[in-house]
Amino acid sequence: MNNNFINEIKMSMQMIINEQQMEFLNQTLLNSLQNKIISDFQPEYNDDILDNSKLLSLFISSKKVEGCSEKSLKYYTSTINHLFTEIKKTVVEISTNDLRFYLSNYQDIKKSSKITIDNIRRIFSSFFGWLEDEDYILKSPVRRIHKVKSGRQVKEILTDEQIETLRDNCSEIRDLAMVELLSSTGMRVGELVRLNIADIDFHERECVVLGKGNSQRMVYFDARTKIHLKKYLESRLDKNNALFVSLAQPNSRLTIGAIETRIKNLGKKCNIDKVHPHKFRRTLATLAIDKGMPIEQVQKLLGHVKIDTTLHYAMVNQGNVKIAHRKFIG
């Protein structure tokens, strides 16, 4: 075994040292390894520690402590579990090429957009980065996989006429109150479902919502929202503390899925494409920027941690770009 070890070193050095230096290296190794035995070393990993499912569980626990939502945690879990299903290796064996082939095949099979593939890449980066930080692996294999470039898409917002049409077609006062609150506050649907009646300050026309990362912020609503919200609450006979509940007994708190379905069906009823709760949020942000609200205040209103996220809304209205061009450039 010693001779093999010496020969491997000599082969590695033969391109950078001359014959005389090689002889000196050979003699030095023979003298240093005299009376010593070298054997193949195979690291003994603890199967319990390096079990993929257990490492994933530990990772998810760490993300939960950091304040990730249940929805995000489920997405992390399902995405990484799918990787383990396709690549039947332990995390220490998964290479950069394994991940590249996986992402490429995933895109071909699922016909996924570049944005979706980059979201998966970011999840892998977070997971393997955590494994590296926790010393389960030496180096993250995602380091050499760069961000997936994708063209920026201009996302639609709701027009004033469309919002009025949605209001006119609400058959339930509850749905009207929902539409009003979403359009006037720009809150996330996840924030909406967590609201309780006690959270609403009708006098100041404001309420505190619990956003991403369990961070609280104040949002504000207009007089029209106040009127319809009060009418809705006065019409209720249940004792539930939730702000929005199901129409049928036992009048349980509405879920995100229930609100998304209700809003989507309302949009279909009005022949308006792709109506969903987040579209109200995007519309509010765009209108606020169009009317001159400072970007920092819009960021605060929406609860964005990074202002770059808010800036995505600043260029939605191409008409404003045209007007600005004529004003400042001619």
145-156 residue pLDDT tens? 998 887 666 678
Q: For residue 124, what is the domain's CATH number?
A: 1.10.150
Output 313-321 pairs: Cβ under 8 A, ≥24 positions apart. Answer: 313/282, 313/285, 313/286, 313/289, 314/289, 315/154, 316/154, 316/155, 316/157, 316/282, 316/286, 317/157, 317/286, 317/290, 318/154, 320/290
Q: Are residues 282 and 188 in the same domain?
A: yes
pLDDT in tens, 132-149: 999 999 899 999 999 888
Poorest-confidence range of 9-13, 189-193, 246-250?
A: 9-13
- Average of pLDDT values for 55-66? 93
Average pLDDT over residues 90-114: 93
18: CB partners within 8 A, 6+ apart = none
**Could you tell me which residues are beta bridge partners of residue 208?**
218
Query: Higher pLDDT residue, 50 or 240?
Result: 240
Identify the three-state secondary structure at position 283. Answer: helix
User: In this structure, are residues 178 and 280 in contact, taking their beta carbons and an 8 Å threshold?
Assistant: no
Neighbouring-strand partners of residue 196: 242
Q: Within this chain, do residues 55 and 23 fall inside the same structural domain, yes or no?
A: no
Cβ partners under 8 Å of residue 316, min gap 6: 154, 155, 157, 282, 286
pLDDT at 85: 94
Res. 195: pLDDT tops 90: yes
Domain presence at residue 270? yes
**Confidence band of 1 (pLDDT split at 50, 70, 90):** low
In this structure, the answer to whether residues 217 and 100 fall within a common structural domain is: no
Whether 41 maps to a domain, the answer reads: no
Q: Tell me, yes or no, whether 128 lies in a domain.
A: yes
267 plus 175 within the same structural domain: yes
Q: Are residues 183 and 301 in the same domain?
A: yes
Domain boundary among 133, 148, 174: 133
Weakest mean pLDDT among 145-149, 181-185, 326-330: 326-330
End-of-domain residue from the set 71, 98, 133: 133
Domain shared by 18 and 81, yes or no: no
Residues 62 and 195 in one domain: no
Residue 43 has pLDDT above 60, yes or no: no
Q: Which of the pair, 291 or 299, is modelled with greater confidence?
A: 299
Same-domain status, 235 and 111? no
Same domain membership, residue 168 and residue 60 = no
- The percent of residues above 90 in pLDDT, for the chain, comes to 62
Other residues' Cβ atoms within 10 Å of the Cβ of residue 92: 14
Catalytic residues: 188, 212, 278, 281, 304, 313
Residue 39 domain-assigned? no
Give the per-residue pLDDT at 171: 94
Q: Pick the last residue of a domain from 98, 133, 168.
A: 133
Residue 167, in any domain of the structure: yes
Q: Say if residue 98 is in the same domain as residue 22.
A: no
Domain assignment of residue 297, yes or no:
yes
Residue-level pLDDT at 9? 76
In a domain, 20, yes or no: yes
Residues 178 and 234 reside in one and the same domain: yes
252: containing domain: 160-323
* CATH number of the domain that residue 226 is part of: 1.10.443.10
10 phi, psi to nearest 5 deg: -65, -40
- Average pLDDT, whole number, for the chain? 87
Quote the pTM value: 0.68
Report how many domains make up the chain.
3
Asked whether residue 173 is domain-assigned, the answer is yes
Same domain for 204 and 312?
yes
As a whole number of angstroms, the longest Cα–Cα distance in the chain is 97
